[in-house]
Amino acid sequence: MTVAEVTKGIDTIVELLGNEADSLLAHTCKGISRESIHAPGPDHLDEVWGIAIDGRQSS
């Protein structure tokens, strides 16, 4: 993905969010600590569904 494609994607998101874009994109949660959040790893779909990123069935 090129920088131009990423920038276009971000611009599209900002456009879709409209007047609330700045508020929504700059939001910082103060109610849940970062340490409390479990972020899935890059192989999450494979682990849960048995599907590799490229669509192959995993063994």
Yes or no: say if 34 and 23 are a contact pair by the CB < 8 Å rule: no
pLDDT at position 24, please?
Answer: 95
Q: Tens of pLDDT along 2-15? A: 988 888 999 999 99
| Beta carbons within 10 angstroms of residue 24's beta carbon | 12
- Positive or negative, the Cα torsion across 45, 16, 8, 3? negative
In the 8-state DSSP scheme, what is residue 12? H
- Positive or negative, the Cα torsion across 25, 26, 27, 28? positive
pTM for the model stands at: 0.49
Residue identified by tokens 């998101």 is 13
In the 8-state DSSP scheme, what is residue 2? -
pLDDT at position 57, please?
Answer: 59
pLDDT at position 54, please?
Answer: 61
Q: Tens of pLDDT along 13-55? A: 999 999 999 999 999 989 999 899 888 888 887 888 776 656 5
pLDDT at position 40, please?
Answer: 87
